[in-house]
């Protein structure tokens, strides 16, 4: 059974940093691209960042480019999101999601499995 | 970016009704479109991939159609457990983008 478990969320001041891990199990982690998707309170879904199965290719939404870094440790079956220079508008539930393909947005790409999410609140 | 416009943003229907949601892409997206269901406080769940393919285990009352810029999601007979918000998502190009969501309620 595929399981994705995010952690690391919490309250942080504007300008601060936070690192979100997502522990994966139940599948061959390195064979699938992974993404982070966030949802601000009462709002819709926003794709944040994606990474290929090998970790060699990374992709970002313009809203986080230069501030967030996605990475993965395939030996530990763990996905990460390093968030720096946080802004109040980054407050959201952050989900890690498993893609169906090796590279984000490749043909037949879809998010078949999601974690339960971790809440990040950026506030002074 | 490929903007996804969903309509309506909310709807109220009776149990047993046919419910239809539309999603329009700002760019030709071929059939590179997925549909998700999200219940309050829960993570999204994949229902339809590649515009019309039903995910394993999803009830057959859910269906999708369309290609290019216009897509449709249908619940053939609304059930109480279908109360949720539904999102379309394109993967024709990066950044991946979602529609704004359609909240479905029971009348």
Whether the CB-CB separation of B13 and B19 falls below 8 Å is answered with yes
Tens of pLDDT along A2-24? 999 999 999 999 999 999 999 99
Contacts of A45 in chain B (CB under 8 A): 36, 38, 44, 87, 89, 98, 101
Which of A3-7, A88-92, A104-108, B54-58 is predicted with the least confidence, judged by mean pLDDT? A104-108
**CB-based contact, A14 to chain B, within 8 Å:** no
Q: Alpha-carbon distance A83 to A22, whole Å?
A: 14
In percent, how much of chain A has pLDDT > 70? 100
Residue B6, pLDDT above cutoff 90: yes
Q: Looking at beta carbons, which residues of chain B come within 8 Å of A95?
A: 43-44
The band of A106, judged by pLDDT with boundaries at 50, 70 and 90, is confident
B103 at the A interface (CB within 8 A)? Answer: no
Residue B64 forms contact with A (CB below 8 Å) = no
**Min Cα–Cα distance to chain B from A76, Å:** 24
Mean pLDDT of A24-46: 97
Per the prediction, chain A carries an average pLDDT of 96
Let me know: does B74 contact B63? Beta carbons within 8 Å.
yes
| A104 vs B: CB within 8 A | yes
Give me the pLDDT at residue A39, please.
Answer: 98
Q: Provide, for chain A, the percentages of residues in helix, strand and coil under a 3-state DSSP scheme, each rounded to the nearest 5.
A: 5, 50, 45
Q: With cut-offs at 50, 70 and 90, classify the pLDDT of residue A120.
A: very high
Closest approach of chain A CAs to the CA of B92, in angstroms? 7
pLDDT (tens digit, 9 = 90+) per residue, A47-69? 999 999 999 999 999 999 999 99
A100: closest CA among A32, A53, A36? A32
Confidence of residue B53 (pLDDT cuts 50, 70, 90): very high
């Amino acid at each position: 059974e595929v399981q994705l478990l995010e952690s690391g969320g919490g309250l942080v001041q504007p300008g601060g940093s936070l690192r979100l891990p997502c522990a994966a199990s139940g599948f061959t982690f390195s064979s699938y691209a992974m993404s982070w998707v966030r949802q601000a309170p009462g709002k819709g879904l926003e794709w944040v960042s994606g990474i290929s199965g090998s970790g060699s290719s990374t992709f970002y939404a313009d809203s986080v480019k230069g501030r967030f870094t996605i990475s993965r440790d395939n030996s530990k079956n763990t996905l990460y999101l390093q968030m720096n220079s946080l802004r109040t508008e980054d407050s959201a539930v952050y989900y890690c999601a498993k893609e169906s393909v090796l590279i984000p947005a490749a043909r037949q790409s879809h998010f078949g499995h999601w974690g339960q999410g971790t809440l990040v609140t950026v506030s002074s | 970016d490929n903007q996804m416009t969903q309509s309506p943003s909310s709807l109220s229907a009776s149990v047993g009704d046919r419910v239809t949601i539309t999603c329009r892409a700002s760019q030709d997206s071929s059939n590179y479109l997925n549909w998700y269901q999200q219940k309050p406080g829960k993570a999204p769940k994949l229902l339809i991939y590649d515009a019309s393919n039903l995910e394993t285990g999803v009830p057959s009352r859910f269906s999708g159609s369309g290609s290019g810029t216009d897509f449709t999601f249908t619940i053939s007979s609304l059930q109480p457990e279908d109360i949720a918000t539904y999102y379309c998502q394109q993967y024709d190009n990066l950044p991946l983008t979602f529609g704004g969501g359609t909240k479905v309620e029971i009348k």
